[in-house]
Amino acid sequence: MAKRKLIATAAMGIEALVAKEVRDLGYTCEVENGRVYIDAEMEDIPRLNLWLRTADRVKLVVAEFKATTFTELFDGVVELPWTDLMPWDARFIVDGRSVKSKLFSIRDCQKITEKAIVDAMQRGYDKPGEWLPKTGAYYPIEVALLKDVATITIDTSGDALHRRGYRELHSQAPLKETMAAAMIQLTNWKPDMPFYDVFTGSGTLAIEAALIGRNIAPGLNREFCSQDWPCVPKKAWYDAINEANEKAEWDKPLKIYGIDLDPRMVKLAKDNAELADVRDAITFVHSDAAALKPKEEYGVIIGNPPYGERLQTEEEIIDLYERIGQQFAKYPGYSVYMLTSYEDFEKAYGRPATKRRKLYNGNIETQYYQFFGKRPPRRPLESTETK
């Protein structure tokens, strides 16, 4: 099949993680702000949607061209091979964005783009003047203008990729599944190590760790709009799903713990883990994070603690950070990773982070504080000498 350009969109600050996932799947790519351009084929759309843990969406690039007038935009869109991509009854909508471009009216850009697509479909299917029924498969189209360059894409994911299908209910300040996966990938955790999610909430970090630890594709429990597209071979979907099932280590034992002070959150996290098919991989505990007493000498402690953005007072936040800082310091073999928007976190926690990284939890700018623990002693290498 012919090579295509795909875009994996990403939250600011984690594009490199998305690119690594793409390359690990065997594709070449280029990184830009908020997106990763991928060289692939239509039949690769299923694998990318199933496996990308930190990307927001996978979009098919239909075309990129310069457009400084509505005539240029219309002419550029109408000449595209829409009938190769969409059937006559395609149910499509056109969304729009414009940044630093002469065509700044988003609504007008959407209308011009839709009119051009309709004209192209009527011409291509030899049905001049007929209304498009728009009763078939769903095609979310976007016209995005940046510095007078129009990029026309179709979203192959449908619902954003953070919607894994396991979190029907969530806590008041939910952490997106894609961001949770990114946080885990930025740690030194390996599946044979203990993993403590000490503010588990709806269980997202613990569940994402279990999916990673067992090599379970994050998209296995959900559907994608491109599953109904004739231009994406059905066999590609069957093959990708079979591959994901074969690679999953469903029964692999893991030492993952989800801890929360609110018993309702513990119950919710258990229910979500059940929906994700990883309930047996996680031990959920009703407890205070500041009372943590790990059984093992080495491991990872991770958390998305309260920021004070909603109900907590600053005094309560400071007290919490002081207490966890004092408690976690008792376990030097543990690396600690905390995501918060509280600017004086290190002061309250009691020591400076080894490393910090700016991340966006939704629209909230946060810092990801990383405190590296002692490394476990290396195991002696087995002798390769023959007896």
- Percent of the residues in the chain that have a pLDDT greater than 90, as a whole number: 90
Q: Compute the mean pLDDT over every residue in the chain, rounded to the nearest whole number.
A: 94
Looking at residue 361, its pLDDT comes to 86
% the chain with pLDDT above 70: 95
Confidence of residue 387 (pLDDT cuts 50, 70, 90): very low
What is the average pLDDT across 23-48? Answer: 97
- Above 80 in pLDDT, residue 168? no
pLDDT over 60 (residue 171)? no
User: Residue 172: what pLDDT?
Assistant: 56
pTM for this entry: 0.93
Helix (H) or strand (E) holding 356: strand 355-361
User: How many residues can be counted in the chain?
Assistant: 387
| pLDDT of 301 above 80 | yes
Q: What is the crossing angle of helices 177-185 and 204-213, to 10°?
A: 60
- Please report the pLDDT score of residue 309 as a whole number: 53
Half-sphere exposure of 54 (CA within 13 A, CB side): 29
Q: Note the pLDDT of residue 38.
A: 98
Check residue 228 and report its DSSP letter: G
Interval 177-229: pLDDT, tens: 999 999 999 999 999 999 999 999 999 999 999 999 999 999 999 999 999 99
pLDDT at 136: 97
**What pLDDT digit, counting tens, does each position of 229-285 carry?**
999 999 999 999 999 999 999 999 999 999 999 999 999 999 999 999 999 999 999
pLDDT of residue 283: 98
Q: What is the pLDDT of residue 382?
A: 57
Are 241 and 46 contacting, i.e. CB atoms less than 8 angstroms apart? Answer: yes
Nearest alpha carbon to residue 260 among 175, 357, 356, 345: 175
Q: At what angle do helices 70-78 and 106-124 cross, to 10 degrees?
A: 30
Q: What is the pLDDT of residues 76-116, one digit of tens each?
A: 999 999 999 999 999 999 999 999 999 999 999 999 999 99
Per-residue confidence (pLDDT) for residue 377, from 0 to 100: 84
Average pLDDT in the 373-381 region? 81
- The whole-number pLDDT of residue 386 equals 46
21-26: average pLDDT = 98
Residue ranges of alpha helices (H) inside the chain are: 15-24, 45-51, 70-78, 82-85, 106-124, 177-185, 204-213, 234-247, 263-275, 314-328, 345-349
Residue 115 CB burial class (10 angstroms; 0-12, 13-18, ≥19): middle
Residue 161: closest CA among 260, 14, 48: 48
Lowest-confidence segment of 194-198, 350-354, 357-361 by average pLDDT:
357-361
Rounded to an integer, the average pLDDT of 129-148 is 97
Measured CA distances, 44 to 70, 113, 191, 289 (Å): 34, 27, 28, 43
